[in-house]
Amino acid sequence: MTLCLIFSTNYAKGDLNLPLKQYLENENIEKGSTQINLLKRCSAIYAYASAVILKTDAVSSKNFIEISNNLLFKSVELMVIDEEKKLEDAQREAENNRKLLFNNYIKDGKKNWEKNKSHFKGSYISDDMSICSKLVEDK
């Protein structure tokens, strides 16, 4: 629960999500909980990217939502294996976390749009997407 709060609050910069780069600098990537949170966060950003481009590029939007769902599934798998959670509980938790993080991306993306007419550029959202794209490339 503490990690969820770390992930979803960053009042100093006014953003709702702590930038992934900052989160990863303070966490051990070898830990299962860090990997689970990274997968959930990347699932949320791919869901957000899918929503942003849905009207302009349906094919890429579909690909992004597939990536999002695969990342979420991997987080559920790790929760079952690493944290010995029941499958149903892990799925519910992962989906709830993704929804929270997704909603934060929507709010921060809107703020960024008002600032510079981009949902991503010039914000932590762009950096998060870059980190998550490397994660997806590696798999």
Say if residue 6's pLDDT is above 50: no
Q: In whole angstroms, what is the distance from residue 38 CA to residue 83 CA?
A: 15
Domain of 73 in residue numbering reads as 28-138
Instruction: Check residue 129 and give its pLDDT.
Output: 96
pTM: 0.87
User: At 25, is the secondary structure helix, strand, or coil?
Assistant: helix
Query: Looking at the domain assignment, is residue 46 inside a domain?
Result: yes
Q: In whole angstroms, what is the distance from residue 14 CA to residue 106 CA?
A: 14
Query: Looking at the domain assignment, is residue 116 inside a domain?
Result: yes
Token representation of residue 1: 């629960």
Query: Looking at the domain assignment, is residue 20 inside a domain?
Result: no
Query: Looking at the domain assignment, is residue 93 inside a domain?
Result: yes
Query: Looking at the domain assignment, is residue 13 inside a domain?
Result: no
Tell me what percent of the residues of the chain surpass a pLDDT of 70. 88
pLDDT interval class at 100 (50, 70, 90): very high
Instruction: Check residue 137 and give its pLDDT.
Output: 86
Query: Looking at the domain assignment, is residue 18 inside a domain?
Result: no
Query: Looking at the domain assignment, is residue 118 inside a domain?
Result: yes
The tally of CA atoms less than 13 A away on the side-chain side of residue 138 is 8
- Based on the structure, what is the number of domains in the chain? 1
